[in-house]
Structure 1
Amino acid sequence: MLELEHFTQTGRVGPVSGAFAPGRLTLLIGPNGSGKSSLLAGAAGLSDSDGEGRVRLDGQALSGFSLHELARHRAMLVQQTVLPHGLRGYELLALGAEPLGGVSAAVCRAIADLAGPLGLEPLYARQLNTLSGGEQQRLLIAGTLLQVDPATNPDARLLLLDEPLAGLDWHHQLATLRLLRGYAEQGLAVVASIHDINLACQYADEIWCLHRGRLAARGAPEIITPALIAEVFEVKVRVFEQDGRRIMLPEE
């Protein structure tokens, strides 16, 4: 479990307190600049909290982990990644396997399991600079998942992704969310920021809604109401019921 206690980044996010529990998919929503990326970076141990607040993984402060230990316990997909020129798709995935000791037979099986849902096979032999943004994103997602795949990494505890659906077509957005649910069901604490509120309500076990650096709401998807959306996003929506699911659409 990852615990945040009064986590603060001055001018960005906080104070925020809460926990990301194993076996659950938590999705972060909120307007641009609401603090989602800063919160995820803090949860990954990639930023300072300006001396305020604590972040603990399984009871131990993140500052007490070495970089190698952090790489074994958690993986983080950041929003903006500079990819090395000339690297091929399979070489990028091999980098994701480095904390696991390299490309073993078990790692190859994990890559094969990811290849179908993310449509990776046509991308392996191509240089990254020849791929579209969405194709690059699918490889980056696969490399991040590979790092904490429970089948290859028994030390894995936490999976963090900052806007993993950015640049993906609808098919691969849904495939990615299904994969994240699957990793949560295998015992990881999985946390991701996304912008599609309806998808968040459909797939999340828990939603954290951030507004101006603070938690405006936290809980089951039912906490997302038209009143909350009007307050946080400044958009009026109407709620429709379809096959037992709530769908929110902006009013004209």
Structure 2
Amino acid sequence: MLTLDALGVNERVGPVSGTLEAGRLTLLVGPNGSGKSSLLLAAAGLLEAEGQVELDGALLDHLELAELAHLRAMLVQHSVLPAGLKGYELLALGVPGGEVTEAACEQMAVLSGFLKLDRLYARPLSALSGGEQQRLLIAKTLLQVSPALNPDARLLLLDEPLAGLDWQHQLATLRLLRHYAGLGLTVVASIHDINLAAQFGDDIWCLHRGRLAARGGPEVLTPELVAEVFEVRVTLLEQDGRRLLLPDSGETENRQ
């Protein structure tokens, strides 16, 4: 469980308070510049912030960096890839303890099945597309907190993990995140597609101008909220328990 108490980053986000539950996938939505990245970085202990962040009752700023890295993993939005590595070498960097054991190979195989990584392992990172690199980075991050390899892992944070991915791999990634939440982790990710958020998120946090505009289940994504936060008019369609927010053709709110 991740608890934020008046968390704020100067001129970027906050104060934001709330609890993100273990065993649930929380998806952050909001326009560009709404504070999603800053919130995630501060929650990971990677950005100086006001307020407090607690992970299962322990204050993050009381933990050593090595201990923190053992408890949580974060995929940042813009990763710098090590030069000269091949796909499998990048993935191996995410294995807890650094030893590629039989158990680690089994977890790599599971991730490879979801993200179609087999053809990427032997290729240099420089020869891969942005989406292919992103899939490897997602897998590397997930390995770090895989309960089968790291039973102490508690938290998984991802900043725009779907960026650069085609539709097939976006869906595969979201299914993986739900799987990891089902293993007992607190999983939080920012995404831009509000319909995917409504379909896959257990909980939705919507940020607007650095503040928490709404939170709750997928039902908080209403046409009124979308018009206010995203400045887009949408129509809500519901069928078989699913919600779809369809943009009105040519209709965009013009607000200052």
TM-score scaled by length of structure 2: 0.96
Compute the displacement of 1:243 (Å): 3.1
Q: What residue in structure 2 maps to residue 93 of structure 1? A: 91
1:209-248 counterparts in 2 under 5 A?
Answer: 209-248=206-245
Q: Is the 8 A contact 1:128 1:136 kept in 2?
A: yes
1:195 paired with 2:192, answer yes
User: 84-93 or 29-38: which moved more?
Assistant: 84-93
Partner residue, 1:53: 51
Corresponding residue pairs, total: 249
1:72–1:100 contact (8 Å) kept in structure 2:
no
Q: Distance in 2 between matches of 1:21 and 1:248?
A: 26
Identical counterparts, % of pairs? 69
Counterpart in the other structure of 1:154: 151
Unaligned runs of 5+ in 2: 250-256
Q: Secondary structure in 1 aligned to 2:232? A: coil
1:101 Cα deviation after fit: 4.1
For the 8 Å contact 2:92–2:98, the answer to whether it is kept is: no
* From 120, 127, 150, the counterpart of 2:124: 127
Q: Could you report, residue by residue, the CA deviation over 1:145-181 in whole angstroms, capped at 9, with x for unpaired residues?
A: 0000011110000000000000000000000000000
* Aligned equivalent of 2:41: 41
Amino acid at match of 1:85: A
The 2-side partners of 1:168 and 1:225 are apart by 26
Alignment partner for residue 249 of structure 1, among 237, 243, 246?
Answer: 246
2:114 counterpart residue number: 117
In 2, the alpha carbon distance for the partners of 1:244 and 1:215 equals 26
**Is this contact kept in 2: 1:100–1:147, CA < 8 A?**
no
Contact 1:74 1:156 in 2 (8 A): yes
In structure 1, C-alpha distance between the alignment counterparts of 2:192 and 2:75, rounded to whole Å: 16
Report the secondary structure of 1:16's partner residue: strand
Give the corresponding residue for 1:166: 163
Q: Distance in 2 between matches of 1:21 and 1:157?
A: 11
Instruction: Name the SS of the counterpart of 2:93 in structure 1.
Output: helix
Q: Is the 8 A contact 1:206 1:220 kept in 2?
A: yes
Q: Distance in 2 between matches of 1:157 and 1:22?
A: 8
Indicate yes or no: 2:21 matched with 1:24. no
Give me the TM-score of the superposition, normalised by structure 1. 0.97
1:5 is aligned to 5
Contact (CA 8 Å) 1:100, 1:153: kept in 2 or not? no
Counterpart AA for 1:139: L
List per-residue Cα deviations over 1:72-104 (Å, max 9, x = no partner). 10000000011122110010011111x334211
What is the SS of the residue equivalent to 1:53? strand
